[in-house]
Amino acid sequence: MNSPKKDGDDDVPVKDPVKYGELVILGYNGSLPSGDRGRRKSRFALYRRAKANGVKPSAVHILNTPQDSKAVHSRGQHSISFTLSRNQTVVVEYCHDNSTDMFQIGRSTESPIDFVVTDTSGAGKEGEDPSIAPSTISRFACRVVCERNPPYTARIYAAGFDSSKNIFLGEKATKWKNPDGHMDGLTTNGVLVMHPEGFPEDPKQGLWREISVCGDVYALRETRSGPSRGKLAEGESSALRDGSLVDLCGATLLWRTGEGLMRAPTLRHLEALRQELNASRPQCPVGLSTLAFPSMPRSHRWDLEERQPWVYLTCGHVHGRHDWGQRSEGVAEPREGEGSTTRRECPLCRSVGPYVPLWLGCEPAVYVDAGAPTHAFVPCGHVCSERTARYWAETPLPHGTHAFRAVCPFCSAALSTPGWTRLIFQGPID
């Protein structure tokens, strides 16, 4: 595979390049609804570049007039500007760093952005237009800097350099001078990171933290865009681990290391599990028809098929699509995360609850193991292994200005409590 190229990139593809890792946007189940195109896609692979493009801090300038600022910026070097007042700006110049590669993420489609990320809608369905609501993702949201030599450590920093190679923190931005004298700051809505322990073999969720422009780690602000920074998290690092989550206030990214991806299930493995499940010929207890999960490419298009399995989420009994057991009291208020799902009575156990189609989870990066697809998320019906379902149901993601909630990693639907159900299939009678 060739090294990924952005628009206008002059990097020459390298044979067998080092793969630092991948960033995967949660909620898209393998690809964007309209398809992955160019720099706008659901996952972005970071490869060692043919030529290093990293930068590191060098000179610091304290400027008192706009003319001084122009003189510094006209040099064409990367810089971060901290506006302290109308008459004073601190500019930190950055020089080339031969030992690192830099990758930038944000909403902007300008050339400095390597991975274009837009807001993830509530359930990632075709036809939902995220452009209706104003985006909360920064145009130049963050940057990931990878060491070109082993162990290829990847570190994340808030904010990205714009087309003029500048990061600008205005008068109202949260910023400060550290005890060692260097300036630092936070972006408006912040870049939040959670590093799990033991991912994926025995994953334990870590604490959500905020990353500064210079890569330091802080406790969360009182609200997402609050004016005061949290307390410095002593001894904690912005280095990404396998399974780290990065929240950009509108989209959450999962980081998988190159090594972690080599141990993770592949699309081919998930397809084999699908075929194995279909080969067992699960049946609908009512219609006695044989059920079959759709092929992987169709599983993220939301196109229902005739033999699609459906499930009663309260009990987990799997059926085909039928009209049995509709409840007249089905207009009751749904619980959080259930949307307007119709309430039905299961013909096998008489339990009442939502009745939804089942969809296979097609994004291998979010799986914590290669187990059989035995569990479904509630209320969306995405199917995966038990350990994967339990992990994501217990992993709260930032939501709004100061809330957290667990979501399905395949469609971003808010999960109920509990967030999963065990599937009960009926085998063929013959």
Label residue 70 exposed, middle or buried (CB < 10 Å: 0-12, 13-18, 19+).
Answer: exposed
Rounded to an integer, what distance in angstroms lies between the CA atom of residue 132 and that of residue 322? Answer: 35
Whether pLDDT at 305 is above 90? no
Instruction: For the beta carbon of residue 411, count every other beta carbon within 10 angstroms.
Output: 24
Kindly state the DSSP code that residue 232 receives in the 8-state scheme. Answer: B
Q: Which residues pair with 100 in a beta bridge?
A: 147
pLDDT of residue 339: 39
Kindly report whether the peptide bond that precedes residue 130 is cis, defined as omega within 30 degrees of 0.
no
Calculated CA dihedral for residues 162, 166, 172, 177, nearest 10 degrees:
140
Grade residue 99 by pLDDT with cuts at 50, 70 and 90.
Answer: very high
> Residue 135: pLDDT band by 50, 70, 90 thresholds?
confident
Percentage of residues in the chain with pLDDT exceeding 70?
85
Q: Is the peptide bond before 200 cis (omega within 30 degrees of 0)?
A: yes
In this prediction, residue 400 carries a pLDDT of 82
Residues 6+ apart with CB under 8 A from 371: 385, 386, 387, 388
Q: How far is Cα 80 from Cα 167, in angstroms, rounded to an integer?
A: 5
- Residue from 344, 325, 346 nearest 334 by CA: 344
Over residues 172-180, the mean pLDDT reads 92
Residue 96 to residue 104: CA distance in whole angstroms:
16
Q: State the pTM of this model.
A: 0.89
Sorted by sequence, the CB contacts under 8 Å of residue 58 that are 6+ apart come out as 93, 94, 95
pLDDT at 336 over 90: no
Q: Could you tell me which residue, 133 or 356, shows the higher pLDDT?
A: 356
Instruction: Read off the pLDDT band of 68 (50, 70, 90).
Output: low
> Which has the minimum average pLDDT: 158-167, 169-178, 313-322, 340-349?
340-349
- Give the up-direction half-sphere exposure of residue 182: CA atoms within 13 A in the CB hemisphere: 12
Q: What is the mean pLDDT of residues 302-312?
A: 85
Q: Is residue 358 very low, low, confident or very high in pLDDT (cuts 50, 70, 90)?
A: very high
CB 50 within 8 A of CB 14: yes
pLDDT for the residue numbered 330: 42
Q: What is d(CA 284, CA 271) in angstroms, rounded to the nearest whole number?
A: 22
Q: Residues 4-56: pLDDT tens digits?
A: 444 434 444 567 789 999 999 999 998 888 788 889 999 999 999 999 999 99
Q: List, for residues 278-299, the tens digit of each pLDDT value.
A: 999 999 988 889 999 988 765 5
- Distance, in Å, from the CA atom of 306 to the CA atom of 51, rounded to the nearest integer, reads 52
For residues 376 and 381, give the distance between their C-alpha atoms in angstroms, rounded to a whole number: 5
Q: Is 415:408 a contact under the CB 8 Å cutoff?
A: yes
Tokens standing for 121? 């809608």
Sign of CA dihedral 298, 300, 302, 306: positive
Whole-angstrom distance, CA of residue 4 vs CA of residue 48:
10
Contacts of 230 (CB under 8 A, 6+ apart): 210, 218, 219, 220, 221
